[in-house]
A and B are shown apart, each in its own frame.
Chain A
């Protein structure tokens, strides 16, 4: 079992819809959870992080964390074509380093 698993996609949503990206992790000692966005041919860039159970909102983005279920998600409201990218879930576990999922490719259709 992979340490960090993401829905593999690809995921397509129409412009203006909500995109839902999911991630599960296996290390119960994990403390912080990060979502990165990676455009094709570019390096990953941080969208947001979360470390407390519940929701955290930043503009059109909402991260949700449920440590009991070892589940973290990212919701993108009012999706735009510019949101089309690969989204990487990263988990800061007991090894003091980030473990990344394989990513979910999102396409927002105009």
Chain B
């Protein structure tokens, strides 16, 4: 069965370190998204991609970057981790039309000390 996976599932890091969260989907979806979820804020879009070599900033992109070298993967990099980036991160993918379902990965809980 097609799926979307994230790794690691839990990560503890220190302020200032670079961190990369992996996202891999086997749906062959063009569209991939990264969200963070914090209490009181719901799901907020960080970055998204509509295809290979395409990346776009979302509403909370500062301090994050992504790259899309193939269809299956969209890694999220925190260039210099800050305590404000402690959150749960969800990757998602979607085929592309307005009626297509968006599927979420299991999430990564990141703690920045």
Which residues of A approach B to under 8 Å, CB–CB?
31-32, 34, 42-46, 49, 51, 88, 90, 92, 96-98, 100-103
Contacts and interface: CB of A to CB of B under 8 A. Distances in A.
Nearest to B58: A97
Contacts of A92: 98-99
Contacts of B98: 31-32, 51, 92, 96
Interface of B: 31, 33, 35, 40-43, 45, 48, 50, 90, 94, 98-99, 101-107
A61 B43 CA distance: 23
B48 A97 contact: yes
Q: Which of A31, A43, A44, A45 counts the most B-chain CB atoms under 10 A from its CB? A: A43
Given A32-B99, A92-B98, A44 B43 contact: yes
Contacts, number: 45
A7 to B, nearest CB: 13
Closest A-B pairs by Cβ, 9 of them: A102-B42, A43-B104, A100-B43, A31-B98, A32-B98, A92-B98, A44-B104, A46-B101, A43-B107
Contacts of A88: 42-43
Contacts of B103: 46
30 contacts: A31-B98, A31-B99, A32-B99, A34-B101, A34-B102, A43-B104, A43-B106, A44-B90, A44-B104, A46-B102, A46-B103, A49-B99, A49-B101, A51-B98, A90-B102, A92-B98, A92-B99, A96-B50, A96-B98, A97-B31, A97-B33, A97-B48, A98-B94, A98-B102, A100-B35, A100-B43, A102-B40, A102-B41, A102-B42, A103-B42
A28 B35 CA distance: 24
Contact of B104 (A45, A49, A51, A103): A45
Nearest to B56: A97
B105 A43 contact: yes
Contacts of A31: 98-99
Contacts of B33: 97
